[in-house]
Structure 1
Amino acid sequence: MPQSALALRLAALGDSLTAGYGLPAGDAFPAQLARALAAKGQAVEIRNFGISGDTTAGGLARLDGVLATAPDGVILELGANDMLRGMDPSSIQANLDAIMGRLQKAGIPVLLCGIRAMRNYGRAYAEELAAVYTGLAQKYDAPLDPSFLDGVTGVPGMTLPDGLHPTAQGVAAIVTRILPTVETFVTRLGTARASTP
């Protein structure tokens, strides 16, 4: 049986942080994560559905394209552009809820990646935004990475000159930090697939 037939298939649905803005395709988050999993003996294919500038509404609008590939699981990383536009957390929640609800209906588990609000938005906004991700993770029993850019934002060498998007080194740091969560997610997917007749 070919290796591709054995591999779990993930879809990474996100914005520029998933797409790999300013980086070669091989340095983008999905590619680096797939290599890190392979080094751990996990055969996982990760399709990059990241689009720079995308919002939660944009992700919902193109969800059919993700569903059409019938992935075993989805890594959902959206909301940063909504936050940068100062959008109400309730609209972010509604869009992410709709995405996760449709994926659940299709029997596709989700690993949810959260983002933290920038300090200038104030404490109340930051807390409300954080609650969106923790609440949805609980609702859908989804593993959560609460802050996708944790350890990258503001660290020299980890971001491009814009101070927002990670360098290849920054992506590697994200992958190293999130890898245990992804490994647990992938193991759960593999167990579920093995038990399916």
Structure 2
Amino acid sequence: MSKLYGALRHLVQLGAAFACIAALPAQAAEKLVLAFGDSLTAGYGLKPNESFPAQLQASLRKDGMQVRVHNAGVSGDTTAQGKARLNWVLRSFPRAPDLAIVELGGNDMLRGIDPAQTRANLNAILAELKRRKIKVLLAGMLAAPNMGRAYRAKFDPIYPALARQYGARLYPFFMQGVTGNRALVLKDNIHPTAQGVGVIVRNIKPLVKAML
């Protein structure tokens, strides 16, 4: 009986080992997307599964893609704060992400930070990602009308200019189709609801899929 038990246990162990080996290609094939941004990425006011990274991951997987989207959004972050933590975030991964979605600058605009500083910080972020050979999808931001024409004239061109400079793909306005629609934003009229995030995901997903 003991010999039979030992043989059965050996077969079970072999089966588990083969199962692990069989799973390796699937794990290796999984794409890693870094969603690097502020509260719009983090999912301010939403449940974890309602955030942009979570909904994007779910939508891509529904399309049959093996993808993990890492939420590296921090509410309140300016481009300077994003630049300061970028290397720490990248060092936390066992390998380089296949794609980085960079969504920063909204808080700079809301605080009236000099657009030249915003551009310099985003420039440093994109330069570091390029140095690490990580593909970038740059999510643009537009200055609010109350910031004035002079500010908008300096702020809005930052994103297309940097995308051209670094050969990054540009999604011109992260909140496209959401801003101005009260049904899709929270009571602060800034952050998207879960449904608003769904609109963002549907709009940006074709670019993400093309880059992966």
TM-score by length of 1: 0.91
Residue of structure 2 in register with 1:31 after alignment: 54
Q: SS at the partner of 2:72?
A: strand
Residue of structure 1 in register with 2:129 after alignment: 103
Aligned positions of 1:112-123 closer than 5 A: 112-123=138-149
Q: Indicate the larger mover: 44-53 or 127-136.
A: 127-136
Q: SS at the partner of 2:34?
A: strand
Instruction: Measure the CA separation in 2 of the matches of 1:72 and 1:179.
Output: 15
Residue of structure 1 in register with 2:78 after alignment: 55
Q: SS at the partner of 2:186?
A: coil
Match of 2:88 among 65, 71, 85: 65
Instruction: Measure the CA separation in 2 of the matches of 1:39 and 1:65.
Output: 31
Residue of structure 1 in register with 2:10 after alignment: none
**Which string of whole-angstrom CA distances, capped at 9 and with x for unpartnered residues, describes residues 160-179 of structure 1?**
11110000000000011111
Instruction: Measure the CA separation in 2 of the matches of 1:127 and 1:13.
Output: 25
Report if the CA contact (8 A) 2:182-2:189 is conserved. no
Identity %, equivalent residues: 49
Q: SS at the partner of 2:89?
A: helix
The reply to whether residue 144 of structure 1 matches residue 170 of structure 2 is: yes
Report if the CA contact (8 A) 1:77-1:113 is conserved. yes
Report if the CA contact (8 A) 1:16-1:54 is conserved. yes
Count of aligned pairs between the two proteins:
186
Report if the CA contact (8 A) 1:130-1:146 is conserved. no
Unaligned runs of 5+ in 2: 1-22
Task: For residue 77 of structure 1, report the CA deviation from its aligned partner.
Answer: 0.3
**Which string of whole-angstrom CA distances, capped at 9 and with x for unpartnered residues, describes residues 86-138 of structure 1?**
11111111000001101111111111001111001122322321210001100
Task: For residue 4 of structure 1, report the CA deviation from its aligned partner.
Answer: 3.1
Q: SS at the partner of 2:32?
A: strand
Instruction: Measure the CA separation in 2 of the matches of 1:144 and 1:132.
Output: 11
Higher Cα Rg, which structure: 2
RMSD: 1.1
Residue of structure 1 in register with 2:186 after alignment: 160
Stretches (4+) displaced over 6 A: none
Higher percent of residues as helix: 2
Match of 2:66 among 43, 59, 74: 43
Q: SS at the partner of 1:162?
A: coil
Residue of structure 2 in register with 1:177 after alignment: 203
Task: For residue 62 of structure 1, report the CA deviation from its aligned partner.
Answer: 0.3
Q: SS at the partner of 2:68?
A: strand
